[in-house]
């Protein structure tokens, strides 16, 4: 089960504002719901706050914590930017359609068919304000309180969405030997009790992908389980987050469950959008596709939440995605720029490893992330301090190498895991050599 130390002390984060209660009793607890009282903040945001404080003090920090893009290095497509401006001047500023503008749903349908090998009608597609409302609505539409949700760690935010839905979380710790991607054999012991299996490929935080065989085995297991349950029992659904699917690198191939096993279409709900492929994290256009009865219920939920993508951005995205030649050109440029950074850092870590330093990295496959390892527990600094915990190691790397990266415990892995996520969307290509040089000098201090 999800580690208890994620539940109590980590609630009180440095980035959280202090709440002043206007009562006669200064020590009175805030009157909020139990859900709000126990919600866990983001460890990544906590680390970012520490990094930003160092930057305010004038330190040069290579901040590779947030899964975002520096718009100066990775701008959104120029045509998309202009289309957005044009749509605002065309007064596209009122409410969009509840399930998304038809023009955009048609464009997404065509994109999926022509580039993703997926056949979804426009009424099987739901547009939302990015991937987060999509994920929230999937959980709300499929998971009742007490239902079992299976997910592997490290992974992004499945623990929080399980908590928000009062679900029973079954957490599988994926292994580096499998590039941190779960296997069917890991999941099988829990599948009979499951309502939802949450998977992501390309994976955040690892930048790795499912193999064809690995995903086929998981699909076959789900189909077998749903056949056992029969038509009168709620099936086990698969939430498949493929928000990074356009950003595969080199010879890496992206696989999805429905293309591999067409019968999975009845049980798969996708998470997708333009946030990562087009560097458009702030534009907030995401979508889901899945069985129409599920998509309809997700739509109903989002009508009450109001988590729509802005109408102007939807219309502009529809126009942009309708020109696949333009889209293809941008994606190729995007992949080239990302690959140069990821491969540069990977080669740098392999060089450090060959020099005898206790570091490593997994070869990048996709997305904007490199999985790196600092196996420094138990080593001493020049002052004699022992790096006893992963938090000690993280602080040492930040203080001495001026590098901010996210430990895998922020994604649910064991507190003492030596693995980290390095996000390259915010860095310059010239930063690669500087970061590796800084790490080399810092690691030389340890004994």
Report pLDDT for 52. Answer: 85
Residues 218 and 305 grouped into a single domain: yes
Looking at 322, 345, 368, which one is the last position of a domain? 322
Q: Are residues 409 and 357 in the same domain?
A: yes
pLDDT at 22: 38
Residue 114 lies in a domain: yes
Residue 186 pLDDT: 97
**Nearest Cα to 47, choosing from 435, 404, 416, 411?**
404
Which of 276, 291, 322 terminates a domain? The answer is 322
pLDDT tens, 149-160? 999 999 999 999
Residues 266 and 356 in one domain: no
In a shared domain, residues 347 and 367? yes
User: Domain check: are 206 and 235 in the same one?
Assistant: yes
Total domains in the fold of the chain: 2
User: Are 223 and 362 in the same domain?
Assistant: no
In the numeric block, which tokens belong to residue 79?
Answer: 């045509």
What HEC string does the chain produce? Answer: CCCHHHCCHHHCCCCCCCCCCCCCCCCCCCCCCHHHHHCCCCHHHHHHHHHHHHHHCCCCCEECCCCCCCCCCCCCCHHHHHHHHHHHHCCCCCCCCCCCCHHHHHHHHHHHHHHHCCCCCHHHEEEECCHHHHHHHHHHHHCCCCCEEEEEECCCCHHHHHHHCCCEEEEEECCHHHCCCCCHHHHHHHHHHEEEEEEECCCCCCCCCCCHHHHHHHHHHHHHHHHHHCCCCCCCEEEEECCCCCCECCCCCCCCHHHHCHHHHHCEEEEEECCCCCCCCCCCCEEEECCHHHHHHHHHHHHHHCCCCCHHHHHHHHHHHCCHHHHHHHHHHHHHHHHHHHHHHHHHHHHHHHCCCCEEECCCCECCEEEEEECCCCCECCCCCECCCHHHHHHHHHHHHCEECEEHHHHCCCCCCCEEEEECCCCCCCHHHHHHHHHHHHHCCCC
173 and 306, same domain (yes or no)? yes
**439 lies in some domain:** yes
pTM: 0.91
Residue 103 lies in a domain: yes
- pLDDT confidence of residue 14: 33
In this structure, is residue 199 part of a structural domain?
yes
Q: Quick one: pLDDT at residue 26?
A: 44
What was the pLDDT predicted at 29? 62
Q: For residues 298 and 134, what is the distance between their CA atoms, to the nearest angstrom? A: 8
- Give the end of a domain, one of 266, 293, 322: 322
Domain annotation covers residue 82: yes
Whether 204 maps to a domain, the answer reads yes
Please report, for the domain that includes residue 343, its CATH number. 3.90.1150.10
* pLDDT per position as a tens digit, 55-108: 898 999 999 999 999 999 999 999 999 999 999 999 999 999 999 999 999 999
Q: Are residues 82 and 189 in the same domain?
A: yes
Range of the domain at 216: 78-322
- Do residues 107 and 27 share a domain? no
One domain, residues 254 and 115 = yes
- Regarding whether 377 and 298 lie in a shared domain, the answer is no
Question: Residue 187 is part of a domain; what is its CATH number?
Answer: 3.40.640.10
Six token digits for residue 391: 């938090």
Within a domain: 426: yes
Per-10-residue mean pLDDT of the chain, 447 residues long, equals 36 34 47 88 76 89 95 98 98 97 98 98 98 98 98 95 96 96 98 98 98 98 96 96 98 98 98 98 98 98 95 98 98 98 98 98 98 98 96 96 96 95 97 98 97
Instruction: Let me know if residue 327 belongs to a domain.
Output: no
Whether residues 64 and 113 share a domain: the answer is no
């Amino acid at each position: 089960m999800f580690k208890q130390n994620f539940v109590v002390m980590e609630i009180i984060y440095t980035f959280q504002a202090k709440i002043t209660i206007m009562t006669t009793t200064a020590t009175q607890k805030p009157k909020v719901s139990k859900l709000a009282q126990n919600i866990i903040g983001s460890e990544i945001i906590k680390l970012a706050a520490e990094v930003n404080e160092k930057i305010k003090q004038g330190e040069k920090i290579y901040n590779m914590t947030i899964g975002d893009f520096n718009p100066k290095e990775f701008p959104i497509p120029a045509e998309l930017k202009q289309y957005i401006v044009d749509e605002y001047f065309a007064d596209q500023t009122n409410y969009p359609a509840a399930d998304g503008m038809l023009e955009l749903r048609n464009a997404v349908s065509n994109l999926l068919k022509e580039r993703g090998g997926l056949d979804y009608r426009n009424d099987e597609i739901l547009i939302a304000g990015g991937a987060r409302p999509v994920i929230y609505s999937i959980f709300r539409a499929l998971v009742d309180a007490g239902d079992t949700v299976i997910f592997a760690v490290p992974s992004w935010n499945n623990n929080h969405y399980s908590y928000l839905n009062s679900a029973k979380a079954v957490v599988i710790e994926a292994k580096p030997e499998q590039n941190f991607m779960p296997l069917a054999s890991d999941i099988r012991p829990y599948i009979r009790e499951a309502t939802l299996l949450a998977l992501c490929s390309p994976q955040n935080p690892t930048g790795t992908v499912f193999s064809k065989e690995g995903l086929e085995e998981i699909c076959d297991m789900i189909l077998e389980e749903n056949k056992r349950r029969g038509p009168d029992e709620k099936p086990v659904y698969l939430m498949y987050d493929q928000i990074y699917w356009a950003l595969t690198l080199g010879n890496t191939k992206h696989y999805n469950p429905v293309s591999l096993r067409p019968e999975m279409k009845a049980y798969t709900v996708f998470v997708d959008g333009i946030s990562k492929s087009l560097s458009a994290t702030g534009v907030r256009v995401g979508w889901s596709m899945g069985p129409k009865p599920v998509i309809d219920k997700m739509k109903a939920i989002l009508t009450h939440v109001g988590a729509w993508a802005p109408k102007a951005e939807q219309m502009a995205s529809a126009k942009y995605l309708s020109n696949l030649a333009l889209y293809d050109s941008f994606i190729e440029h995007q992949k080239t720029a990302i690959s140069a950074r990821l491969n540069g850092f990977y080669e740098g870590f392999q060089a450090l490893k060959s020099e005898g330093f206790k570091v490593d990295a997994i070869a990048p496959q996709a997305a904007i992330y490199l999985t790196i390892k600092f196996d420094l527990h138990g080593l001493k600094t020049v002052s004699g301090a022992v790096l006893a915990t992963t938090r000690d190691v993280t602080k040492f790397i930040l203080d001495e190498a001026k590098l901010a990266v996210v430990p895998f415990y922020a994604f649910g892995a064991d507190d003492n895991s030596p693995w980290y996520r390095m996000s390259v969307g915010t860095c310059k290509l010239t930063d690669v050599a500087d970061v590796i040089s800084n790490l080399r000098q810092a690691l030389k201090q340890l004994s």
